[in-house]
Amino acid sequence: MSTRANVWDAIAEEKHWRKSIEDSVPAMHMLNPKNGQPPSGLYILCLAGRDAAWHFTRPEYLISRDVFVAELRRLMVEPTMPSRPVPDVHAYQEAQKRWLEVLVKKYEGS
């Protein structure tokens, strides 16, 4: 990820987020509820983050840091829907919002 305020490398950002999504697959598999058990809060948070990342890694959102942060902010107001079943969509969207808030702070501070 870009760490200097005056540097934005869209290719590196996309590569970073695509790798993060790819790396999340084994974790999601391990956290996936078994035997009809309800999903844990960590599973829901991971799913919410992964779903948001699938969305914001589109090239049109990576053209600049400002565009990227604007899309993160938009997703905080208009969260994605779960790509897998969850018992509480509201809890999923709240988890996604909290995760996006952390990213916004990180990217605005870098």
pLDDT band at 5 (very low <50, low <70, confident <90, very high): low
Radius of gyration of the chain (CA): 14
| Model confidence pLDDT, tens digit, residues 26-62 | 988 888 878 888 888 899 999 999 999 999 999 999 9
The structure tokens 């890694």 sit at 57
Q: Is residue 1 part of a domain?
A: no
Whether 64 is covered by a domain: the verdict is: yes
| Stated pTM of the model | 0.86
In a domain, 58, yes or no: yes
Q: What is the number of domains present in the chain?
A: 1
According to DSSP, residue 2 is labeled -
Residue 2 placed within a domain: no
Quote the domain boundaries for residue 31. 10-109
Q: What does the block give as tokens for 22?
A: 């790819």
**Is 4 inside a domain boundary?**
no
In a domain, 3, yes or no: no
Instruction: Look at residue 71 and tell me if it is in a domain.
Output: yes
Rounded distance between C-alpha atoms, residue 10 and residue 60, angstroms:
10
Higher pLDDT, 67 or 38: 67
